[in-house]
Amino acid sequence: MSSLKNLEVWFITGSQDLYGEETLKQAAAHSEEIAAFLNSNTNIPVQVKFKPIVKNTTEIYDTIVAANTEQNCIGIITWMHTFSPAKMWIRGLQALQKPLLHLHTQFNRDIPWDTMDMDFMNLNQSAHGDREFGFIVSRMKIARKVVTGYWQDEDVLERINIWARAAAAWHDWQGAKFVRFGDNMRYVAVTEGDKVEAEIKFGFSVNTHGIGDLVEEIDAVTEDQVNAILKEYENLYVLNADVSEGGSKRKQVYDAAKIELGLRAFLEKGNYKGFTDTFEDLHGLVQLPGLAVQRLMQDGYGFAGEGDWKTPAIVRACKIMASGYEGANAFMEDYTYHFDPKNALVLGSHMLEVDASLASDKPKLEVHPLGIGGKDDPARLVFNAKGGKALNASLVDMGDRFRLVVNTVQGIDSKEDLPKLPVARVLWQPEPDMKTACSAWIYAGGAHHTVYSQNLTPEYLEDFARIANLELILIDKSTKLDQFEKDLRLSEIYYKMKH
């Protein structure tokens, strides 16, 4: 994914006119120094822009409205160096449309025991100034992340980094377009949902195109284009004789390349950030897109199979949050269990469409029959994924709200070759343990489709959910099933009362 450096967050410091010019000058200098430090810190992926100190209702309102309308501004960080009476913030906060982080910090880390006088006390009032601000944000029920600590602390920088990435993903959703080729897989429930509500709440749109529109793009692909991309495949992947030039399955690889080029052209022309298709609607396609989808996901597109339009959106959001990180954020499906009590595992995969960025070794490009869809044998990349800490996240429509279910897992390096399984696969142990995690997931209504993230922690999704006003259900090391069921019931009440 590309860099997030073209995006900016605004650093807004609150104060009031009471203090006199000298104190305000000092406050501004301190604030500028903090903003410059955050801006230059490599742990923070976006620009941090200092904004002149706001001292009254009008300045606050004007600054926030300007943040709302600045295209590249993805959120604001507020800090009260001095005391900023919070009724002054009401009008501005009512207008705020961007994510908010409240940085509860102090310019000096330590109390200067020997030199501290009343001037110092007068200037360094965050300890109570930020409480006054916090009260009004809570009273107005505005979602925000509160980060406490000295502004140079690694821990503080990491909290800001995570929030900035969540805000960037939210920014990416606003006005985003996802295309749905065909409709839903027949009779499937969890992949359905309210697309109108999603657009109102999340800012992205999902619209359909008949598969014929895609076929037109594929038909327009030239032989030269195909030959060029076949060369790329040969460089990147292991090709056995049957799929190499002159091989018995070369034609299927050729067709898959053509599908990739057509699909890529379609997505680029339409400025789409993700897509879904279904094996039940492939009219005019010679094979189910497998290889094409694997490679497009690697390039940053969100995707899920069978008409599922919610998973592409969350896959895309996770890809944005993880911009520049090692590891993958991939469309995944819980496929098969290993119920060995000493080594319980989930095998995750999909029919074909497993994100190529998960590959821990050079993928094999293979062609095999597919039992469903009734089309020609599709090409796909086959590989194993690396182990390590990971999580699964699933976005579902509960009818009256959207819910994000997250489960932390331990990815496992596969010791088995699975020589007869012609798809890419991932193995993991869910936390806290297989039985608790799977039961909890099912109680929460989590889908079989997820985004599998190798580099995001729950905090990214918590920040994202807070910004998106999205219910978040976390299953992790501390989950106990009886308490989990109670928490689900409490959450139900909360959302019933909220709406």
Cβ proximity to Mn ion, 333 vs 397, nearer residue: 333
DSSP-derived letter for residue 373 is S
Shortest CB 353 distance to Mn ion, Å: 8
Shortest CB 341 distance to Mn ion, Å: 28
CB contact at 8 A, 336 and 347: yes
Per CB under 5 A, contacts with Mn ion among 45-74 are none
Cβ proximity to Mn ion, 24 vs 288, nearer residue: 288
Shortest CB 308 distance to Mn ion, Å: 7
CB contact at 8 A, 229 and 257: yes
CA distances from 325 to 40, 48, 320, 455 (A): 18, 20, 10, 7
Shortest CB 270 distance to Mn ion, Å: 23
Residue with tokens 């896959």: 315
Shortest CB 413 distance to Mn ion, Å: 25
d(CA 185, CA 191): 8
Cβ proximity to Mn ion, 92 vs 302, nearer residue: 302
CB contact at 8 A, 125 and 80: yes
Q: What is the 3-state secondary structure (H, E, C) of 95-161?
A: HCCCCEEEEECCCCCCCCCCCCCHHHHHHCCHHHHHHHHHHHHHHCCCCCEEEECCCCCHHHHHHHH
Cβ proximity to Mn ion, 15 vs 450, nearer residue: 450
d(CA 468, CA 474): 16
Per CB under 5 A, contacts with Mn ion among 383-412 are none
Shortest CB 450 distance to Mn ion, Å: 10
Shortest CB 449 distance to Mn ion, Å: 6
Each residue 251-290 as x (binds Mn ion by CB under 5 A) or -, in order, gives ----------------------------------------
Determine the size of the site formed for Mn ion (CB under 5 A): 3
- Give the residues across from 346 on adjacent strands: 337, 428
Residue number with the smallest Cβ distance to Mn ion:
305
Query: How would you classify residue 374: left for phi > 0, otherwise alpha for psi between -120 and 50, otherwise beta?
Result: left
Cβ proximity to Mn ion, 375 vs 389, nearer residue: 375
Cβ proximity to Mn ion, 289 vs 305, nearer residue: 305
Which three-class secondary structure state does DSSP give residue 73?
strand
Cβ proximity to Mn ion, 335 vs 495, nearer residue: 335
Task: Tell which residue, 162, 475, 468, has the closest CA to residue 314.
Answer: 468
Shortest CB 333 distance to Mn ion, Å: 5
Which structure tokens are listed for 117? 């006088």
Residue with tokens 């590249």: 72
Per CB under 5 A, contacts with Mn ion among 299-338 are 305-306, 333
Cβ proximity to Mn ion, 45 vs 348, nearer residue: 348
Cα three-residue angle 207-170-101, rounded to 5 degrees: 160
Cβ proximity to Mn ion, 124 vs 392, nearer residue: 392
Shortest CB 258 distance to Mn ion, Å: 24
Shortest CB 267 distance to Mn ion, Å: 20
Query: How would you classify residue 90: left for phi > 0, otherwise alpha for psi between -120 and 50, otherwise beta?
Result: alpha
Cβ proximity to Mn ion, 8 vs 306, nearer residue: 306
Shortest CB 396 distance to Mn ion, Å: 14
Cβ proximity to Mn ion, 132 vs 183, nearer residue: 183
Which three-class secondary structure state does DSSP give residue 82?
coil
Task: Tell which residue, 19, 133, 41, has the closest CA to residue 80.
Answer: 133
Peptide bond into 312 cis (omega under 30): no
Q: What is the 3-state secondary structure (H, E, C) of 424-455?
A: CEEEEEECCCHHHHHHHHHHCCCCCEEEEECC
What is the contact surface with Mn ion in residues (CB under 5 A)? 305-306, 333
